[in-house]
Structure 1
Amino acid sequence: MQDRRQTPRDKVFYGAVAEINERGSTMDCVVRNISEGGACVEFGNAARLPEEMNLNIARKGRSFLARLIWRQANRVGLAFRIMTSDTPVSDLDERVRRSEIKKRQLQRRIKELLGQG
């Protein structure tokens, strides 16, 4: 298979969360490799994935709007939407994004604790 990537990808093992619709549904996943333009991501079940999603990688402190490029079993290739210089990201936008990530992490932790109780 020919590698058509424009930038090389770094092999990583990052836990991530994919937001798969506007209602706040999420799926946990693992980022296997990443570059500025995209990533290879592994899901427990890739059959229910939409063509576009928001990928939150807590370890990098970043969130990416991503488009599904390919699927192979439970792995998918994602292309990140490139932010242009005329797309301003305010400090408030960044703080809201981080608080949403933290909220999802806390909600998952609450579910874990209630499930053990």
Structure 2
Amino acid sequence: MSLFQRNFYALLQDHHDGSTPMIEKRTAQRHRVFKGGTITFENGGIPCTVRNMSVGGAAIDLDAPVMLPQSFTLSISCDDFVRNCRTVWRRDKRVGLAFVQ
């Protein structure tokens, strides 16, 4: 077993208690980022912090737990990035987004 494999399995053991299997549902690799963004929708917009991104979606942090509409737009002005989104999961102020076409 390579050093990489040993470190990977040790990391899994440190973060998983073994009671349920860990299943990765993402189809694309995510990349950590820390960028300011804006969620915009029909009646306004709110600032957010983009924490990670992949080809298919992103995870964002909001300043407070708020209700989001069914579909909205994520913009990251420093990257000229604009994508239509929908919410996939939510944990308090963190929201997982899927990009839609």
TM-score with structure 2 length normalisation? 0.73
Residue segments in structure 1 that go unaligned for 5+ positions in a row: 83-117
Alignment correspondent of 2:26: 5
Alignment correspondent of 1:41: 60
Figure out how many residues of one structure are paired with residues of the other and give that number: 80
* Alignment root-mean-square deviation, CA: 1.2
Residue 67 of structure 1 and its aligned partner are, at CA, apart by 0.5
User: Greater helix share, 1 or 2?
Assistant: 1
C-alpha distance in 1 between matches for 2:30 and 2:79? 15
Q: Which runs of 4+ in 1 moved over 6 A?
A: none
Alignment correspondent of 1:104: none
- SS state of the match for residue 86, structure 2? strand
Within the candidate set 55, 70, 76, 2:95 is matched to 76
Considering only CA atoms, is the larger Rg found in Structure 1 or Structure 2?
Answer: 2
Deviates more, 1:7-16 or 1:47-56: 47-56
Identity over the aligned pairs, expressed in percent?
35
TM-score with structure 1 length normalisation? 0.64
Within the candidate set 35, 42, 60, 1:22 is matched to 42
